[in-house]
Amino acid sequence: GREYTVRLERYPTVLASTNLWVAKARVRIAAYSRYLDTIKLRVKWAVTPGAASVHDVVKVLDGHGAVVDWWFTACSCKQRADGQSDQPSSSGGVYVTLIRGPATPRGGVKVLFYPGGGELVGAVAKDWVPWPLIGW
Tell me the C-alpha distance between 7 and 80, whole Å. 38
Q: How far apart are CA 122 and CA 56, in angstroms?
A: 10
> According to the model, what pLDDT value does residue 120 have?
87
pLDDT in tens, the chain (136 residues): 677 888 899 989 999 998 877 788 999 999 999 988 899 999 999 999 888 999 999 999 998 999 999 999 999 988 866 666 678 999 999 999 999 888 888 888 999 999 988 888 989 999 888 888 887 8
pLDDT given at position 26: 95
Write the DSSP assignment of 20-67 as a string of letters.
EEE--EEEEEEEEEEETTEEEEEEEEEE-GGG--TT-EEEEE-TTS-E
Kindly report the pTM of this predicted structure.
Answer: 0.82
Phi-psi region of 114 (alpha: psi -120 to 50; beta: other; left: phi over 0): beta
